[in-house]
Chain A
Amino acid sequence: MTASVNTISTQSAEARNAGDVVLDVSDLSVAFPTEEGVVKAVSNLTYQARLGRTLAIVGESGSGKSVSSMAVLGLHNPKRTQITGSIKLDGIELVGAPASTFQKIRSTKAAMVFQDPQSSLHPFHKVGKQIAEAYQAHNKVSKQVAMKRAVEMLDLVGIPNPQRRANSYPHEFSGGMRQRAMIALGLVNNPKLLIADEPTTALDVTVQAQILDLVNDLQKEFGSAVILITHDLAVVAETADDILVMYAGRGVEKGSAKEVLAQPSHPYTYGLLQSLPSHSEDLEELRAIKGTPPSLLNLPSGCSFHPRCEFKSQVEGDACWTQLPAWRPTPGLHNREIRCHLADPVATLKHDEEAR
């Protein structure tokens, strides 16, 4: 397994310096016009993904975490999507780029692993062929060479007997094996960025652990940037370096993953962590966030979280209702940014936790 890693990772002659920004998203907005109105799936999103690091994008359904990543690969139907702002992948501007640009960067510069490996592989095509196809699309090689590469990749992701398994159909694989094959497909062209969209949500717990380990190991080998989209904060705690918390299409908090989870400084992040059962074991009641996420057709004025926020009374005046909070460093914390009007969120949240 390790033998092939070396040959594969050294194929790329480009130097990969850990920490280099490979994806620079700034002021990105994605909207879908519908009959009922415009769905504002992502609004003014800014973040960076760096080589050698894992960025977790966390949020609930409708937070825009998947939509923003699909925009990186140009997977939205351009006729039914309005995208503004900037997405720079390895220096290439992708907002407004023609289809040919996306065709070139897909799989070579950025690849995606999807949530459900069962439905994400083509049921009629053999697994090896599906991987080889992605390799052949970007390398002028014969079918045999591409197939050999596919078998190597299957070996790399820990599929036993890869030569034989390459000739199997997806339905002949188990769930965990299918997700491994999806990862092999994602890495076949050695992209600088791998986006994993809820890669373990459809898998069993023991298999989830294997897949997360695999992604971590491969990242070390390849030195690529990984964006991990998930709703599971425990997964973030164990696998991510950086975190971006999203709510209703906007980023609300970003920083180091471990620090944010240990000491959240935005009321939404705080609320999410408080609501986890593991946090309040043996407490009679879980601390739920009140209410439900807003409709993306009709976002609340000001801060989108204000209708559910417990702390809005501590902000003077009507800022929470009327003004969209801008990104700013959290007072008192290093390397942390939030979008919140609270004057001293760290103190406010700490006071709240102690009062419980």
Chain B
Amino acid sequence: MSAVLEVTNIKKSFGGITAVDDVSFDVREGEILGLIGPNGCGKSTLFNCILGQLTPSGGEVRLDGKVVTGLRPSELNKLGVSRTFQLLQVFPKLSVRENLILAGQEHQGNMASRLVGRSDAGLTDAANQMIGFFKLDHLAAEPAGGLSYGQQKLLDAAMAFMGGPRLVLLDEPAGGVNPTMLSDLKERLVAINREKNATFVVIEHNMEFVMSLCSRVMVMAEGKVLAMGRPDEVRKNPAVIEAYLGH
């Protein structure tokens, strides 16, 4: 399996604090990689460095072999890298369908065609399919702000898939989602992973969710990579138990 994403020696410091310290790893095509570690260990900062939201202090990010370090988030998204955020980031006044159209529109045509072309950028069908896929049919026309937290989380995830991404980075998709909806979310993620061959990196604290979803798990502590391997290997790793999982 070839690597979709290669991260080499990424560093990020804020003043005297090194949030991400020389992290290297790769993400293989079609896999679901879990990223776990205690709060403040640098997971989200690492995401932000990979995605161009922060400029790394050192190191390199490659997408499909091409260096993408320092590209803007919008440019990376156009190259097929998508994300969700730790905190909810849907557009509350837009309807569920409009949120999804917004999430896909910049992948259609160019600036000029988006101005003179159709209001929905030709995405209504695609948005409806995504709505069906995430079982949000009855809410399609509702303003996203009126949805329950769990439903908004589903919408947030659905938005990340609208541009047909190769690689999706999900930052705590399960946080605050009830168990029923969580199994829905997991099922949807697995289905997209298989059907569309999308590759995922998932930050998550819910161990059951991570261990059952991911093919490999990377553990971070104090800005460094502590362990990397299959879920069962990582679970038994003494350093991981010490730093994060507990006894």
The answer to whether A and B belong to the same complex is: no
On A, residues with C-beta under 8 Å from B are none
